[in-house]
Chains A and B, each alone.
Chain A
Amino acid sequence: MTSLALTHARFQLLETFRIPMALIGSAFFPAASMIFFVVPFVGSDPVYATYATASMVTFVVMTSNLFQYGIGVAEDRAQPWDPYARTLPAGAAPRFAGRILAGLVLMGVSLVPVVVIAAVATEATITVPGLLAAILVVALIAVPFTLMGLAIGYSLPAKAAIVLAQVLFFPLAFGGGLMTAPGSAPGFVETIAPYLPTGAAVRLMWAAVGDFPIQPASIAALVLWTAALAGVAVWAYRRDEGRRFS
């Protein structure tokens, strides 16, 4: 089972790496945002540079998972290879685990430039415990966005999934306060942000890397979002089997 999950992950990664544009696309935007927005404006202030890097990391976690699973799953479902793979003598678990593993690898690849630029070109600082906490938080906040991607990918055809992922990601990023420093977003954003999945996620990141206070209501909202998205993802996955070829 474990080795089969690795086989599936390898198979997925090979497909992605053979078309490197896809990879460059997911790594380019966050890197470019770091260079054009973070480095010149807050790069010399250790506190703000660190918060801004944490925001950008959250942004990558969201977009990478939302697009990979939302669009990737929807496209795979349209391929006749998928029903074939279901006739092989393995359950859904290795395939699913392989997809998640591949997703984590690609998310990691997209995060590298952000972290490298923050370390090299800004005054952002982090303690070792802070770094470990940040890694843990990245793993945790990847869960709701993975589920959001899966929910979209399993419930919509590929063309609709692309549009929905693109429509969702900007308001989620802006509304969650990813584009602004802690406490300096427009008023209504400050009000709603702690209860959006992006806002709740970035607040956890800020708390991990700096002195930002942990907000229990915001964490509760993130847990609720995760549960709700898991419900939608499971519902869409189950529904998928009967509908696909009708």
Chain B
Amino acid sequence: MILARATDATRRYGDVLALDRINLDVHAGELVGLLGPNGAGKSTLVSLLTGVRRPTSGTVELCGGDPRDPAHRRALGVTPQETGLPGALRVGEVVDFVRAHFPDPLGRAELLDRFGLSDLVRRQTGGLSGGQKRRVAVALAFVGRPRVVFLDEPTTGLDVEARHALWDGIRAFHADGGTVVLTSHYLEEIEALARRVVVIGGGRVLADDTVAAVRGLVAIRRVSLTVPVPLPDLPGVVGAERDGDRTHLLTGDADRLVRDLVARDVPFTELEVRPTSLEEAFLTLTSA
């Protein structure tokens, strides 16, 4: 059964094309990671699937219907951005407010206990630490006993212990048959939780595969060197650029590239090998 689906979904903001004919199916029981740099279109895609906006063209479905119809959002849980909690209100009041929207919500005490927030129930959200706000935000996604949750960067900024506690909570929800769509621009977070990764860049799906396969795709290294002569054709180079007298080569196998440079007697100096940022890796994926 498909819980969330985008079919040729396009979304424009004026002249800006945020999503370009995206297709995505999320089946019941999946734990999918949406990975992409800032501005790639992840948030826009989530806002379409959760009914906050409508697509400019194409269709989106949630639980078998239009997500803009509130009835189809009864089995949906979403995290607010932590900065968005109403600062003057207490944690318990915010939870009660969200509970009022669902037919069969979790009890307040049960929810707070599950996320280790029981001590904070009387605290105003504006006075919480960043990590506490984040935990409240994630807890809110689970108030309505959802079948599918959309978690936006759920553990960014948490310390290791809190992060693992939250990951355990998400895994437990998934083990009970829950469906999770996780957005992040950190591969580590997606790796820890998801089986399937959908890489989004420039408003398109660049890759939709297992974590291992995507890891290979984005594990690109940057080899920089100064060479006085033109470089020979080297196998395994997926991108090259010149910057003054420096040449930067992008490759999936830096060890082999360096061996080749040496074997071919390229008179290089100042060799440097660095991991690329995810953004650079995505650029490579986009242009490939």
Contact = CB atoms under 8 A, between A and B. Distances in A.
A88 B98 contact: yes
Interface in A52-102: 79-84, 86-91
B106 to A, nearest CB: 15
Interface string A216-246: 0000000000000000000000000111011
Contacts, number: 75
Interface stretch (B72-80, B199-207, B211-219, B255-263): B72-80
A7 interface: yes
B70 A3 contact: no
Contacts of A37: none
Interface in B84-98: 84-86, 88-89, 93, 97-98
B101 A4 contact: yes
A90 B101 contact: yes
A81 B85 CA distance: 6
B53 interface: yes
Contacts of A19: 88
A75 to B, nearest CB: 11
B251 interface: no
Nearest to A94: B101
Contact of B51 (A7, A18, A87, A242): A87
A170 interface: no
Contacts of B80: 80-81, 84
Chain A interface, >50% SS class:
helix
A242 B13 contact: yes
A33 to B, nearest CB: 29
Given A87-B76, A89-B71, A241-B53, A11 B88 contact: no
B144 A83 contact: no
Interface in B30-84: 43-44, 47, 50-54, 70-71, 73-74, 76, 78-81, 83-84
Contact of B81 (A3, A14, A80, A241): A80
A246 B14 contact: yes
A84 B81 contact: yes
A183 B267 CA distance: 96
B175 interface: no
Nearest to B56: A242
Contacts of B100: 3-4, 7
A211 interface: no
A11 B89 contact: yes
A217 to B, nearest CB: 43
Contacts of B50: 87
A89 B83 contact: no
B128 to A, nearest CB: 14
Contacts of A15: 86, 88-89
B160 interface: no
Contacts of B97: 7, 11
A81 B83 CA distance: 8
Given A79-B84, A87-B76, A88-B73, 14 more contacts: A11-B86, A11-B93, A14-B93, A19-B88, A81-B85, A82-B84, A87-B52, A87-B78, A89-B70, A89-B144, A90-B101, A242-B53, A243-B13, A245-B43
Interface of B: 13-14, 16, 43-44, 47, 50-54, 70-71, 73-74, 76, 78-81, 83-86, 88-89, 93, 97-98, 100-102, 124, 140, 144
